[in-house]
A and B are shown apart, each in its own frame.
Chain A
Amino acid sequence: MTRYTSWLWAIVPILGFAAALVLGAVATPPAALAQEPLTIGGAMSLTGRYSEPAGRMADGRTFAMEEINARGGLLGRPVKLVMRDDRSDPSTAVKLYERLLTEENVDLCLAPYSSPITEAVASITERYKCPIVADGAATRSIWEKGRKYIFGLVGPSEDYLRGAVEIAAKQGYKRIAIINEDSLFSKAAAAGAESYARQHGMEVVLREEYPRTATDFRPLLLKIKALNADVIAGGSYFVDAAAITRQMKELNITPKLWAATVGPGLPRFTEDLGPLAEYVLGSTQWEPVPALGYPGIKEYIERFEKRFGYKPNYHAAQGTAAMLILEEAVKRAGTLDREAVRAQLTQLDMTTHYGRFKVDETGFNSGKGLLLFQIIKGERRLVWPDESREVQPIVPFPPWDKRPSK
């Protein structure tokens, strides 16, 4: 055996590490400097488990920022968005808000994405008295803690799966399995589904939670199959909803109806899953359907699609709406004084492309209802409630082997 030369081995990891550093540096754009901009800051889950919905919401906000700046800015100053990546982690988000509010001194605040992160962050924005319009949180309990500086925009988590349960009940399905990620929003959505199911006399054959890091749902799906559930309702985000759908196919399990929160509403769900996404029902706060009849909705959809190359989904629409509402409140207050802005938000009654914003005494936008869609030929088509319905839902789902391949 020959002797090795020791320096040669040193090269391998060093090269790897250098490559990592270079790539990392290239991926981080330099911060742009604007002249005396009005800063609106917050954390957003730009990477991590929630990055799909949060990324759409970030696009929606960017769209609104550009619109506002094109109108001449806010209080005569250009608006600058400061969105820091919290990596879908509540404790990171809390640290980011501390820094934004104490060191970087942003003028106004934005909410983060997702109920669990909003719940964590709300305590910070409350302490610094910075009002936020929570465009990414739907769980009512966040508003039941006497907070004064957080305003709701979206319909309640508990109603997300209501439409799915009602369609199932109408079809006479009796057995429902309810699964959810064990975090704030998903729990509330599942709890809502359970109570609606009981109201309709359905039997909840399974109610199970899985951890936030779960990716393998096969044993859980087998259990659901063994329990003979007609309906599967999932309080989910993107990663889990996609993995569950894929693994249903792997295990050859077809429920009569499978409805999930958040995931199916994202453009990437149909892109990633392709034909597997077909028939899946999803809940939504809003769809890019002009027939919903909100003022400016048609123009909004067109302009957004032109700017970002895809039709806005509800997360994007919420991101835009929250910015517009904040803009209006600041305009009416005529100042950046946070107390004055807060006072305006409490009494504001405004209808945007997204619908009406008028909060109740807790700060929750309690008038907002949910919609349900089904993915049909790769498109999201509204199926519930009746007054917004575009097509009749296709239930029961055809079994996997009866579907055209590819």
Chain B
Amino acid sequence: MSSQLRILENEVQIAALLFMAVVYVVRLAWIFRFKSRKENTFPAGSEAAGIGYSMMNIAMPWAMESTRKRPLFYAQFVIFHLGVAAAISATFIIPYAPGLFRIPAAVRLFQAIIGAACLVGVTRLVRRLTVPAIRLISTVDDYLSLLLMIFFLAAGVLAVPNDTAKGEGPLILFFALTAFFLVYVPFSKICHYLYYPFTRYFLGRTMGHRGTLPPKGGRGSGTRPGLTTEKGEAR
């Protein structure tokens, strides 16, 4: 391994990670600068249950009509984010646990997941470019973030074998993109995962307090079998 690649895999990544962490701390402080409001009403449900349900929403495709009616879209979401997680893991595995990628099955598994995510990224880019309603709302940041992810994932597929004997190009590309990402992410839409707990917390707290979430009848349906008798008498 060249010294340039070693520095890129280690010192540069650590510096970029530290930068991202600092920006995230500042970002969190920025969010907490805005005031929150006190709830003055008697609860009709449980805030904790609402928050829990809201937070877990991401893992419950049946909970929202938007995901329930579009299972393929939800599957794409799962694959894409699994791929991103695998690629991020690879940035740590390669320098700190390279032994894992000496197992051919592990390499193939990572390549399959990251590669599938890359294809989903391409699909999402095509959708963003061709669906008028999505194109209208899309910003430069939306396009660039997606393009960067596609390149990052493609580079990840090539880098995962971690075979410097065949050339360092894929690894240099992968780690250079990673370092760029770590610096760019806090200023882009990619850091939406930082906000997810907040939006979900506030929605879950409000709706949990009111007894709207979790839904009493399941799946958002208004009916809950067993609450009325066969004759229609209220219990």
Query: Is B a genuine binding partner of A?
Result: no
* Contact surface of B with A, Cβ cutoff 8 Å: none
* Contact surface of A with B, Cβ cutoff 8 Å: none
